[in-house]
Amino acid sequence: SNIVAIVGRPNVGKSTLYNRLTETRKAIVDDFSGVTRDRHYGMAEWINKPFTVIDTGGYVANSEDVFEAAIREQVVIAIEEASVILFMVDVTTGITDLDDEIAALLRRGNKPVLVVVNKVDNTMLQSDATIFYSLGLGEIYNISSMSGSGTGELLDEVVKHFEDTELEENTLPKYAIVGRPNVGKSSIINALIGQQRNIVTPIAGTTRDSIHIRYNQYGHDFMLIDTAGLRKKTKVKENIEFYSVMRTIKALEEADVVILMIDAVEGLESQDINIFHLAEKNKKGIVIVVNKWDLIEKNSKTVKVFEDQIKQKIAPFTDVPIVFTSVTEKQRVLKVIETANKVYENRSRKISTSKLNDAMLPIIESFPPPSIKGKYVKIKYATQINGTSPMFAFFCNLPQYVKEPYYRFIENKLRENFEFSGAPIQVWFRQK
């Protein structure tokens, strides 16, 4: 989606503007004290145009020694990532040296920059604001992010710079990385997207909101739905868990493929199984990732033992790929993506009616549904029904006489004959 980055030195009011832009979402998190303070990504919308806001400055607060370098870095990130950059300055201080430095960096970048003069709370200050034209970045936008005045005009200008990426991105595969806290979700996203994308510094307590990240490298092109973040800072453990569950559900609903990460040491726990069943029920593609594989003492049977244990817990839908990773040792991280691609493909697979019947009719003939009270079910043919996940209708005379075990038998045979690994399948028996 389009990204709007707010840059500027500390105390010019970046967070206030950030909060104002992401207002609608903020309402949700306000109840969870400590959560909003240091998040950096938020969703916003202006006249039906959704966008992501990055407050690149949150993490430099009160750490004088790192901030010059950090500000330089935030500007570089903004130039790289943003569709539009809001360069925020403060009318009450005028132009400082740091403002000049930032302006110089921004002039060298090739992204649209809007100079946002903050704290213009009255008309007298409006004439003071004109000094900021001398930054050499063009038009200035006077606002008072405290009262909100001027933000409407600013946003009208901001959305003019948006590219029409929405349409394209909406058609890309969406993979959600979900799992309990600390399984390694942030780590794998960092490993995939690279450090510069992730605005998490060693300064304690930095977290992010869930965001959509486009991964467009090495011939891949898809959206990652990142649910990591929002942790460590708060003392209200239940609230955080509640919020993280809500976010997982939302991410899952949006995704085509759910990448369920678990911790190899802890194994598949009940919360993981709940997520698994939720994904299954919603007919989402599923990949299970067993991370921290480096912490497990292994022999030649360990993988098999793990797989069997997992499959026992997720049954009956066990045709699900399992990838064993160590993100910290960089083991099989790309395999996760390749597997998700494969599952996406399997979930979208279309089988022609002739191929389907060539494979399935002989099987049905050899193993017909058991007769009930002398009544025989005669299956005439099958066809795949159009949809986002695989659905098959088998036409027969007496669909009500086909019982659950036969459904399962047919599903298994479909899986044996065609590749549907990781994709839930629906089978129906219908009257012709």
Task: Please state the residue numbers annotated as binding site for GTP.
Answer: 8-15, 55-59, 118-121, 179-186, 226-230, 291-294
Backbone torsions φ then ψ of 341, nearest 5 degrees: -60, -45
- Interface map 399-428 toward ligand GDP (x if CB under 6 A): ------------------------------
**How many Å apart are CA 392 and CA 176, to the nearest integer?**
26
291 touching ligand GDP, by CB under 6 A: yes
Count of CB atoms situated within 10 Å of the CB of 99: 21
The interface region with ligand GDP, picked from 75-83, 142-150, 174-182, 407-415 by CB under 6 A, is 174-182
Question: In which order are the strands placed within the sheet that holds 113-118?
Answer: 41-46, 49-55, 3-7, 84-90, 113-118, 140-142
210 touching ligand GDP, by CB under 6 A: no
Which parts are annotated binding residues?
8-15, 55-59, 118-121, 179-186, 226-230, 291-294
182 touching ligand GDP, by CB under 6 A: yes
**How many Å apart are CA 45 and CA 315, to the nearest integer?**
42
Beta carbon of residue 180, minimum distance to ligand GDP (angstroms, whole number): 7
* DSSP, res 11: T
295 touching ligand GDP, by CB under 6 A: yes
Nearer to ligand GDP, 79 or 230 (CB): 230
211 touching ligand GDP, by CB under 6 A: no
275 touching ligand GDP, by CB under 6 A: no
Tokens linked to 24: 């609608």
Cβ atoms of 97 and 126 closer than 8 Å:
no
Nearer to ligand GDP, 15 or 187 (CB): 187
- Interface map 297-336 toward ligand GDP (x if CB under 6 A): -----------------------------xxx--------
Q: Residue 148, by phi and psi: left (phi above 0), alpha (psi -120 to 50) or beta?
A: left
Beta carbon of residue 233, minimum distance to ligand GDP (angstroms, whole number): 13
Please report, as residue ranges, which positions from 218 to 247 form the binding site for ligand GDP (by CB under 6 A): 228
184 touching ligand GDP, by CB under 6 A: yes
Q: Decide the pairing of beta strands 211-215 and 41-46.
A: unpaired
Check whether the bond before 50 is cis (ω within 30° of 0). Answer: no
Beta carbon of residue 198, minimum distance to ligand GDP (angstroms, whole number): 10
289 touching ligand GDP, by CB under 6 A: no
Alpha helical stretches, state H, 111-236: 123-129, 151-160, 165-170, 185-193
DSSP 49-60: EEEEEEETTGGG
Write out the residues near ligand GDP by the rule CB under 6 A. Answer: 179, 181-187, 228, 291-292, 294-295, 326-328
